[in-house]
Amino acid sequence: MNKSLILEKALEVFAEKGYYRTTIQEVADRAELSKRTVYRCIKTKEELFMELLNAAVLTRNEEVFKQIGITDDLKEKLSRFVISLIRFARNHRQYYRILTMEVVSDNPEFLNQVAKIQSEFQEQVYQILQEGVRQGRFREINPLLATTFLSKLIEGTLVIIENEPNYSSDQVILSMLDLFWNGLGKRSH
């Protein structure tokens, strides 16, 4: 009982304050528990964060990665991946924040674990892009550059969805994908 409450409140605090500014005392206060009680369930702030990060990954994988298995068409696969990732970010804001936040620690092993988990999205996109280039479906590009570009487009899309009530999220997502696939050039008729 206490552990699930601690995880729930820790997710709130980490999502609001980020990794660096979150303390176990704040988590305990939010859960209305003593710091000692929290430490009985969780040994360190790093362990607490990893539990949340792993829960975020499971939720994301359930909602996002299954979408790319629906089709073999690489353009559709990448589009489905992006759409489902944006929907995940919109529907699970705290988990998305955990998956994308900057983490500072003196523990290199912990930082490597976090970095590996946080880069799974980029690795998946990178693999799809490389396969598309290999199959001749996508033009010869630097997949790392395209992955970075797509990541920033997703971040921008999320900001627009969050801050512009005049646009539907689907409208913004479709416009972003059009920009990614077709660029800024004028279409000739």
CATH match for 56-182 among 3.10.105.10, 1.10.357.10, 3.40.50.620, 3.90.1150.10 = 1.10.357.10
Rounded Cα distance between 17 and 173, Å, is 28
* Domain 1-43 part of CATH 1.10.10.60: yes
Per-residue pLDDT of the chain (189 residues; tens, 9 = 90+): 689 999 999 999 999 999 999 999 999 999 999 999 999 999 999 999 999 999 999 999 888 877 777 888 888 888 888 888 888 888 999 999 999 999 999 999 999 999 999 888 788 888 888 888 888 888 888 878 888 888 888 888 888 888 887 877 778 888 888 888 888 776 665
Q: Please give the full DSSP string across 80-114, using - where no structure is assigned.
A: HHHHHHHHHHHH-HHHHHHHH-----S-HHHHHHH
Rounded Cα distance between 54 and 7, Å, is 12
What pLDDT score was predicted for residue 11? 97
What pLDDT score was predicted for residue 94? 95
Listed in sequence order, the residues at least 6 apart from 4 whose beta carbon sits closer than 8 Å to its beta carbon are: none
What pLDDT score was predicted for residue 83? 86
What pLDDT score was predicted for residue 187? 63
Listed by start position, the domains of the chain span: 1-43, 56-182
What pLDDT score was predicted for residue 111? 95
What pLDDT score was predicted for residue 80? 86
- The encoded tokens of residue 69 equal 């298995």
